[in-house]
């Protein structure tokens, strides 16, 4: 019984130390676009190593596509992001919204075991 308890404590400790935690990298918490879409460049105080578009409602993620000059590019539905790894800048591109309904996606910026979420809304 003692061995089982010790194993359980060890597993919990490993899981707790490997979990990612939300942080503030200095980027805005939300970015808004008009129905016409467009591009916005956001900057923060901490560089990030990866960025991912998420639809928290459906649980789906964006897809990476090849891009020139080492720029990472990810596209999901109506939103595209472009960035250089280890950068403090992120370009967000929204397509025009012709649906007549507002829409929302989330961008997660990652650095090691930390991340910041930027909510992107469009009217």
CATH code, 30: 2.60.40.10
Indicate the number of domains in the chain: 1
Range of the domain at 38: 23-122
* Residue 4 forms part of a structural domain: no
* Residue 96 forms part of a structural domain: yes
Cβ neighbours, 10 Å, residue 62 = 20
- pLDDT reading at 1 higher than 90: no
* Residue 79 forms part of a structural domain: yes
* Residue 33 forms part of a structural domain: yes
Q: Grade residue 3 by pLDDT with cuts at 50, 70 and 90.
A: low
* Residue 16 forms part of a structural domain: no
* Residue 105 forms part of a structural domain: yes
Query: Where would I find the beta strands (DSSP E) of the chain?
Result: 21-22, 30-33, 38-48, 50-55, 60-61, 63-65, 72-76, 79-83, 87-94, 103-111, 114-122
* Residue 17 forms part of a structural domain: no
Q: What is the pTM of this model?
A: 0.80
Average pLDDT, stretch 50-65?
Answer: 87
* Residue 97 forms part of a structural domain: yes
Q: Grade residue 117 by pLDDT with cuts at 50, 70 and 90.
A: very high
């Amino acid at each position: 019984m003692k061995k089982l308890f010790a194993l359980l404590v060890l597993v919990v400790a490993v899981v707790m130390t490997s979990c990612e935690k939300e942080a503030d990298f200095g980027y805005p918490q939300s970015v808004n676009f008009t129905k016409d879409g467009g591009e916005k460049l956001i900057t923060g105080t901490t560089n990030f190593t990866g960025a991912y578009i998420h639809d928290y409602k459906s649980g789906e993620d964006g897809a990476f596509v090849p891009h020139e000059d080492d720029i990472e590019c990810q596209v999901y539905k109506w939103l595209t992001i472009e960035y250089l790894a280890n950068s403090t800048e992120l370009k967000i591109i929204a397509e025009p919204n012709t649906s007549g309904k507002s829409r929302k996606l989330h961008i997660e910026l990652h650095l090691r075991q930390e991340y910041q979420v930027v909510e992107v809304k469009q009217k």
